[in-house]
Amino acid sequence: MKQKRAYKYRISPTDEQKHRLARTFGCVRFVFNWALRQKTDASYNEHKWIYYKDLSEMLTALKKQDEYAWLNDASSVSLQQRLRHLEKAFITFFEGRAQCPTFKKKRHQQSATYTSNAFVWRNGMITLARMNEPLDIRWSRPLPDGSKPSSVTVSKDSAERSFISILVEEDSEHLPPSVQSVGADLGLKSLVVLSAGEMVGNPKCFAKDEKKLAKAQRRHAKKKKGSNKARKKVARIHARIADRRRDFLQKLSTRLIRENQTICVETLAVKNMVKNEKLAKAISDVGWPEWVSQLEYKANWYGRTLVKMDRWYPSRKRCCACGHLLDALALDVREWTCPACEVHHDRDINAAKNMVAAGLAVSACGEAVRPDAVKTKAGTPRRSRKARP
């Protein structure tokens, strides 16, 4: 089965390449902001919608004006790709899967995408359009044998680190089937509690560097506007925190995908949970949505099954031994004894066991996982009228 995958590497551009990339990033950023302004103004003032085709024609006319002749310094492919990215961003926004696109800033992450007609792939080296030398890529892992890049994306983060993401099409081989299944209960003290009883600790990546970050931010606040040295120090700390968190989550998600055929996780309303002032920082640091997203695409790659439980499923209040459902369970109660069968439960392990049991039922025969739930004609679980208070 052919699948497209992106391989990201660190690059070390020369001074000339840095200058060329900086000009490209600036042109791409301007085109994105210009196109976003055109779309919003047309929507609010003229009550019409501008599509990619219209923007492409407007961009061609804009580049012919003497005032914007500097846009020709960048590859036209990168500018057109940025218009496509804006169109896709609005599609995902209208589908409810992302926020509304906003204007790009110079100090934030910069990127430019080149399709196959805007770069040369030869002898394992990539030369971008309008560049004379190939990029110095740190090959941390090899590309699949016989693969040919279809597009590349060059990016630079706030810490002034440069990367290249190479998109290739490769044969995806599913992992051998496994008889094991696991339920994962998400938390703060332990990042994940598995149904087998294993508790994966929370690395607390942000908390470890919080004091160092606060000190760097205080120094940056006292500097004059435009102080790059202080700003880069803050950005490097943020980058180190994000790298550690991403590395930990990637390794954990890969291990669970390799060991289990079915992974059952709960669905959390993180957007609502971060409104709690006391827990907002810890919830943002743990990275639950990123981890579930990694499980989702890796399960698709390797032929595994990921079951997302309904957020209202009472996994913590239901006894995994007899199915008795408590009326209420306070957050500070970490252990409880079932009044029906007198089995003593750890709150999180009990929740993980309930999730794997319900998740297997959902995977096998499409059972509903909400209490007193019925199925609609389309097969979507909904609450019955009798179950409503």
* 181-191 confidence digits (pLDDT tens): 999 999 998 99
Residues 70-82: what's their mean pLDDT?
A: 95
**pLDDT exceeds 70 at position 299:** yes
* Top-confidence residue, 227 or 373: 227
Residue 112 in contact with residue 25, Cβ under 8 Å?
yes
Domain range summary for the chain, segments of one domain joined by +:
2-171, 174-389
Distance of alpha carbon 61 from alpha carbon 38, whole angstroms: 14
For the stretch 134-158, pLDDT in tens is 999 999 999 988 889 999 999 999 9
Is pLDDT above 50 for 385? Answer: no
Just list the catalytic residues: 185, 266, 348
As a whole number of angstroms, the distance between CA 148 and CA 122 comes to: 10
The pTM of this model reads 0.85
Instruction: Output the DSSP codes for 221-234.
Output: HHSPTT-HHHHHHH
Query: pLDDT band for position 361 (50/70/90)?
Result: confident
Q: Which pLDDT tens digit goes with each residue over 312-346? A: 888 888 999 898 999 888 888 889 999 989 899 99
- What pLDDT is recorded for position 107? 86
Q: What is the pLDDT of residue 266?
A: 87
Q: Is the pLDDT of residue 244 over 60?
A: yes
Whose tokens are 């790709």? That residue is: 81
Q: Which amino acid is at 259?
A: E
Is 379 in contact with 281 (CB distance < 8 Å)?
no
Q: What is the pLDDT of residues 192-218, one digit of tens each?
A: 999 988 999 999 999 999 999 999 999
Q: What pLDDT does residue 367 have?
A: 54
